[in-house]
Each structure stands twice: as C-alpha cells, then as structure tokens.
Chain A
Amino acid sequence: MEGLLEIKGLKTYFFTEAGVVKAVDGIDFQVGKDESVGLVGESGSGKTVTGLSVFRIVPQPGKIISGSIIFEGEDLLTKSEEEMRRIRGRKISMTFQDPTTSLDPLYTVGDQLAEVIKEHQRELSKKEAMEKATKLIEMVGISEPRIRVNEYPHELSGGMKQRIAIARALASGPSLLFADEPTTNLDVTVQAQVLELIKDLREKQKMSLVMITHDMGIVAEMTQRVQVLYAGMVAEVGETHSLFKRPQHPYTEALLQAVPRIDKRKELRVIPGNIPNLINPPTGCRFHPRCPYAKEICKEKVPQLELTDKGHLSACHLWRDLSLSGA
C-alpha cells in the first residue's frame, strides 16, 4: 500500500501556566492511500491533538515541538501558512465531535458549505457555489436539500448537522479525512447511519480515513488498521482483525475487555485508575500504574515499539511473555 501520510516523532506540547502538558510525546503514524486507519485512546491520549497537528491548527498555548509530517511526499511542517491553507479542506479535511458547536450558529448551512466551496474554487460564482452546496447536502443523504440549504444549524437535528459537517469536509474532494469521534454526541440510532454514510462516501471518493475514537466497536466496523495511543505515546499498532484477536499490549486488552458484549457472558471490566497527568507523566511505561502485569522494568524504562508479528507493533516490555485475551 502506498503511503499517503507519514508522521514521524511528532511532539506537540501545551505551555500552560500550570506547566508543560506533553499531549503528544513522540508519535509515529502512517496512513496509506485508500486506507482506513483507527486512532484509538481515552480522552487525553493525544489522538485529537495529533489530528490538529497535521493541520497545524493546534490552539494556543500549544506548539508542535519536533517531528515531521510527510503528506504526499512533502513535509507539512516546513510549509508556509498560505500553502497550508490551500491544503486544509482541500487535500485533508476534518470533522469534529460535536456537530452543534462545529457549525457557526449564525449562518445558514448552505452559506457555510458554499463558503468552503468558494474558498477552494475561487472561480465559481455565489450561485454556482450554492448549487454545489445543495448537491452536497443531497449527497450526504439529507432529504429536501433545497429547503435545508437555507436553514440554520439550530433548525437541524444532531444527525443532520453531523452530515452537514461531513459534507463540508468533503466539499473539495480531499484525499484524506480525519473523523474525530463523529458519532459520540449522537443518538445511538443515528450513529449507525452516520457511520454507514462515512463508509459509503469513502468508497465512492477513494479517500483515506483516519477514524479518531475511543470506541473499539467503531474501530472494528470501520477500520483496516488501528493505532492505540496512551498518554501521548503509541501503545500498539496493527491490522484491526489481528489486534482484536491477539492484542499485544495490556492497554489494548483492557480496552477490548471494556466493550460490552451481548453474546459473551462476562463481567464489565473497568480500567482502574485515572488518565495520567501529562505534565508529570509516570516514569518508564506510562501505563504501568494501571497495568495488571506491571513489573519493575516497566517503571524504569520507556518501552520502544517492537515488531511482534507482520505489520504488528507493540510498545510493551513484556509482550513476549503475556498471552493477552482478545475480543
């Protein structure tokens, strides 16, 4: 598979009054052409910040400290702001978690779509842009697009708003889409529809997808490969299917165990402890305070990513000795 996006050694820190928050502390991440990859972790794991770093829109007081982000052969971190703007929304797009807040409440849905369309296709007239916007609304499966195009976000349901957000992201035909928790704020019944839509559009537009989520169920359904993040660092990477069957990191195992299943009778196991402090993270392996298998070495040495199998990497000192249970 050809590489589309390759992140190496990314470090993004937030310089706050309370201290330096190491939100992303050395992450490698690859996405191939026409590939769907999951970026998984609890809140605070650094998955959203990684996405924002690619776009270089990390909000203050955040700053990308080091690393490289190679997209279509060029390092995004060396590009000028003007060049980045031509990439954002056009080559790489993003949808956000809460559709209510990611749309401007003061403008019609059509306005906001047309705005993005016109930004990347300056030659279009306002009318043409609106036409295209209407077609986009239709494409994301919203009925009566001609009426909807003149409505305001607050007049739409959560599911519809998220579809609009997707439409906006796809307006200029990007080759890579970051979907940040697209269904977390939606009703359960609508979640499936939106996921279907994303899958559908991805196929149609031959687009790569980065699925940012904490929900392993969504990962199972939507991704071919998955990367597990913990406290700003990579815990495990691998093909979805094999990662689910045989996880090679205790954190992944714990995530899988936390998914409620109807078919298997087991207790709902909660991961004990709290998300670590990112200003003063635990020494050695950041997961060790919550890990049921932790040994002395885990406190002392930071584990590096090791190849455990074909295309399968784990950052755990003990992966050889542990036989972890999958989903």
Chain B
Amino acid sequence: MIPVFLGVSILTFTISNAAGDPLAILRQGLKSVSPQVIASLRAYYHLDQPLYVRYFYWLWDILHLNLGVSASGTPVADKIGPWVFTTLELQIPALLLAVLIGIPLGVYSARHPYSKGDVAVTGFALFGYSMPTFWLGLMMIIIFSLYLGWLPSAGAAGITRLWWGSELGDRLAHLLMPLLVLTYVQLATFVRLIRGNMLQTLRDDYVLAARACGLSERTVVYKHALRNAITPIVTIVGLSFGSSLAGAPGLETTFSWPGLGYQFVVATYSLDIPMIVGITVVITVMLMVANLITDLVYGMIDPRIRLG
C-alpha cells in the first residue's frame, strides 16, 4: 500500500513539474515582481534544488498535512476539505444504492436464466456499462431540466432559488440526477457480476448437497450460493468505487457539481500545480482507504482469508 502511494505521488509530482518552471506560471498572476522576490520565492519553494530533492521536501510536507499553497494564493488543504465531502455526498449513496439494487437483480437473473426477465435485466445492465457516464448525465439534463424543467441542472445547491421548497429539498433536487446516473452505471456492473457468479455457484457441489439434505430453496440460494458468489463482488465493489471516483471529473463537470473531480479539471486547465498534485494525492488516499475497507470486509465474509 505504501509503495503504491509513493509510486503515485512520484508520478504525479514528476509529470506536473514537467510543465516547466512552476514559478513562471505562478508569475503570470503577478505582473511586476522584482528579481529579489523571485529569487527568494525560488529559494522558499526549493526550486533551485534538483527534482528528487524537491520531491522529498514535498513528501515531508504532505505527511504533515501541508498540501502547499495554490496558485490563487490560498492553502490547498483549506479548500480541498469541503470538496471531499461534496464528492462523497454523491459517490457513497450511489455505491450503496447500486449494491442494494444490483444484487437482488443479479440473483433474480441467475435463478431464472434466459427468461424474459433475465433478458430484460441483462440488457438493461449492458446498456449501463456501455455508455459514457457523463453522456447519460447530459441526456438526463436535456430531458429533465431543459424539456420538463423538473430538476436543476447545475451545482449542488440552488443559487437563484430553493428547489422543492426547503434547503434540504433543494439539495436533494440537485443531487437526484447525478446520483441516478452514477447508481445506474455502477449497478450495471454489479448485476452482471452477481449473475455470472451465481450461475456458477448455483452449480457447485455444496449447493447440490444442501438440496439433497432437504434445505429450502431460499436457504440454498441466499445462505449458500449467494454468500459464496459475493466474495469476489466485494473486491469489485471496491474497484468500482475507485473507478467511479477516478471518473468523477467527467460527471461532476457535466453537472457543475463542485467536488474534487470538477476542481481537478479547473486546476489542470490553469496549471495550478500545487492544487493538481494536492487533489491527486487526496484522491489516491481515498482510493487506498477504500481498498483497505474492501480487504477488511472480504476477511469478514470469507473465513479462509482471515489471518491466524
């Protein structure tokens, strides 16, 4: 895990500093600056040192939760905090909903393979993971915001008015479309996976043996087949969260949702290097935490993996 973090941070750091002299970019905002100020800035940011030395200075800062100062002047760490919550406000409910809806659908499909219901569910899922997430968002905006006017199309909260009467309602109204999009896209993956896994486990020996012992179909399917089918799903759920998070830029930009993804795009456009690096680091940390949780849950479900 730590090597991964280091690896990602090195990559990010190197790439972003490849843009050239960061100070030159910084300077674009400050029109006339005396050479002495430039020199002292250079020394302050260790820019006179070779790249790998600067990396260690930077790493040291990170570990002290100092993410540097953005090109706009304010410290990165101050700004990122609220953005993290904004992104999670979208990602976590979407993941939960996708799991809660996806698994029963997958089980249903596996128990009635090639039936009309199964074909419908499988087709539904197929479209879900074949379409660009942000495009689905666009389609929903066209239908629900522009044509029907039922839902707002930008931001996390209303500026000109409060939708749906209250502040809570307003936030819900803004949340609804991106949430549905994210849920659908992730749900598609889960349904497919559960269906596939359960088609396998339903043919496993212990399922046959359980049936031969007279256990009810419900017990056989849910207690045995499903639980065995789910263990690889746990990993996939973790991965799905990861890729959903990594894909946040697309969806958040479409809905002008002020989360990490959106801000990342903004920062990358303006080459605000401390911000870019800072957001990437935060996203990576979130991914690693997600991986950790995934491993823990996996251990809880599958006794063969537990240590000791």
Contact = CB atoms under 8 A, between A and B. Distances in A.
A106 B213 contact: no
A115 B205 contact: no
B219 A115 contact: yes
A86 B301 CA distance: 30
B301 A106 contact: yes
Given A104-B224, A105-B303, A106-B227, A85 B205 contact: no
A90 B215 CA distance: 10
Nearest to B227: A106
17 contacts: A55-B211, A86-B214, A90-B214, A93-B212, A94-B209, A96-B205, A96-B208, A96-B209, A102-B208, A104-B206, A104-B224, A105-B303, A105-B304, A106-B224, A106-B228, A116-B213, A119-B219
Contacts of A169: 213
B208 A104 contact: no
A87 interface: yes
Nearest to B113: A60
Q: Interface residues of B: mostly helix, strand, loop or mixed?
A: helix
A5 B301 CA distance: 42
B227 to A, nearest CB: 5
Contacts of A85: 214-216
Contact of B304 (A52, A57, A59, A152): A152
Nearest to B213: A89
B89 interface: no
Interface string B219-242: 100011001100100000000000
A98 B208 CA distance: 12
B225 to A, nearest CB: 9
Given A96-B205, A152-B303, A152-B304, A104 B210 contact: yes
A286 interface: no
Contacts of B304: 105, 152, 154
Interface in A165-222: 165, 168-169, 171
Contacts of B205: 96, 98, 101-102
Interface size band for A: 20 to 34
Interface string B193-211: 0000000000111101111
A87 B213 CA distance: 9
Given A86-B214, A101-B206, A102-B209, 17 more contacts: A88-B214, A89-B212, A93-B212, A96-B209, A101-B205, A102-B205, A105-B304, A106-B231, A106-B301, A106-B302, A116-B214, A119-B216, A120-B214, A152-B303, A154-B303, A168-B213, A169-B213
6 cross-chain pairs, A with B, having the tightest CB-CB distances, nearest first = A89-B214, A89-B213, A88-B214, A101-B205, A102-B209, A104-B206
B211 A88 contact: yes
Interface string A207-244: 00000000000000000000000000000000000000
A115 B204 CA distance: 18
Interface of A: 52, 55, 57, 59, 85-90, 93-94, 96, 98, 101-107, 115-116, 119-120, 152, 154, 165, 168-169, 171
Contacts of B211: 55, 57, 88
A55 B211 CA distance: 9
A57 B205 CA distance: 12
A116 B215 contact: yes
Nearest to A111: B223
A88 B303 contact: no
Most chain A CB atoms below 10 A, which of B204, B215, B227, B302: B215
A87 B214 contact: yes
A103 B304 CA distance: 13
A52 B209 CA distance: 10
Instruction: Determine which residue in B213, B228, B304 has the highest number of CB atoms from chain A within 10 A of its CB, and name it.
Output: B213
A59 B203 contact: yes
B103 to A, nearest CB: 16
A146 to B, nearest CB: 19
B133 to A, nearest CB: 34
A140 B278 CA distance: 63
Interface string B112-151: 0000000000000000000000000000000000000000
Contact of A88 (B206, B212, B219): B212
Nearest to B302: A106
Contacts of B212: 55, 57, 88-89, 93-94, 96
A103 B216 contact: no
Contacts of B303: 105-106, 152, 154
Contacts of A165: 209
Given A85-B214, A86-B214, A115-B219, A103 B302 contact: no
Interface string B79-111: 000000000000000000000000000000000
Given A152-B304, A154-B304, A101 B204 contact: yes
Nearest to A57: B211
Contacts of A119: 213-216, 219
Contacts of B301: 106
Interface in B217-275: 219, 223-224, 227-228, 231
B299 to A, nearest CB: 12
A152 B305 CA distance: 12
Nearest to B306: A152
A89 B215 contact: yes
Contacts of A94: 209, 212
A171 B213 CA distance: 9
